[in-house]
Amino acid sequence: MKPLIGVTCNYGETTATVYNTYSRAVAAGGGLPMVLPDAGTGTLVETLDRLDGVLITGGGDIPPERYGDEKHPNAKLVTPERDAFDAMLLEELRKRELPTLGICYGIQALSVAFGGTLWQDIPDQLPEAIKHHRDRDKGEPRQLHMVRIEKGTQLHRILGVDRLETNSSHHQALREVPSPLRATAFCEADGIVEAVENPEHRFMLGIQWHPESLIDRALHLKLFEAFVAEASR
């Protein structure tokens, strides 16, 4: 049987939405995607007991009070419903050996859950950085740039390369990476953290770019294949 992968959503008071690219990437990697319901702590615990892995998808910005900061004027926060759900989810995932993959907002939520902090607005706080965000209203494509991958890391073993061209669609980034997480990839142009992993966990990766939109490229598909393969064990 294919491993069952829970996929998080952008939760609202009456809706739960997620881009199809995430589910399609899980399926392309060999898994069976299942959208996670927001139905309270008890339901979440029972659901996680039946899952083989969890994908934390992209979204808005994490409330800065979660990492001891004041809200930047350019921050666009996730809904209170998503914030509460993901905080509950990450608390459970820290206790479990359930394979976990966080993408964009997902890497940030993962880092904050372990005590990390964020740059709330790259253009304002890191003016020398390259452009990592895009203006959806203007129909801008995702920015492309190269990342450098640290040798000896799980990410390097999965991809088998030192450098990778990635897309980009974020205006926030990891600032302080907390233990036990380890930064494993960096933007070549400005040093912004592009990936983290937890060496104390069987599979817990955070990716700042959007590999789900690049599964037509073999290296990006490899991330989902490795994630699903670990979930199948």
Domain layout of the chain by residue ranges: 4-231
pTM (2 decimals)? 0.96
Which tens digit of pLDDT belongs to each residue from 189-198? 999 999 999 9
The pLDDT of 39-50, averaged and rounded, is: 90
- Is there a catalytic annotation at residue 65? no
Q: What is the pLDDT of residue 140?
A: 59
Closest alpha carbon to 208 in 189, 186, 190, 224:
186
Which of 104, 187, 197, 220 is the catalytic position? Answer: 104
Pairwise CA distance, residues 91 & 223, whole Å: 24
Does the pLDDT value for residue 46 go beyond 90? Answer: yes
Q: Which residues of 19-43 are buried (b: 16+ CB within 10 A; e: fewer)?
A: bebbbebbbebbbebeebebeeeee
Average pLDDT in the chain: 95
Does the pLDDT value for residue 134 go beyond 70? Answer: yes
Q: Is 74 exposed, middle or buried (0-12, 13-18, 19+ CB in 10 A)?
A: middle
Q: What is the pLDDT of residue 141?
A: 65
Query: SS3 for 206?
Result: strand
Which of 145, 170, 201, 210 is the catalytic position? Answer: 210
- Is there a catalytic annotation at residue 212? yes
Joined tokens for residue 209: 């770019």
- Is there a catalytic annotation at residue 220? no
Does the pLDDT value for residue 138 go beyond 80? Answer: no
- Superfamily of the domain at 4-231: Class I glutamine amidotransferase (GATase) domain (3.40.50.880)
Does the pLDDT value for residue 159 go beyond 80? Answer: yes
Which of 194, 197, 212, 230 is the catalytic position? Answer: 212
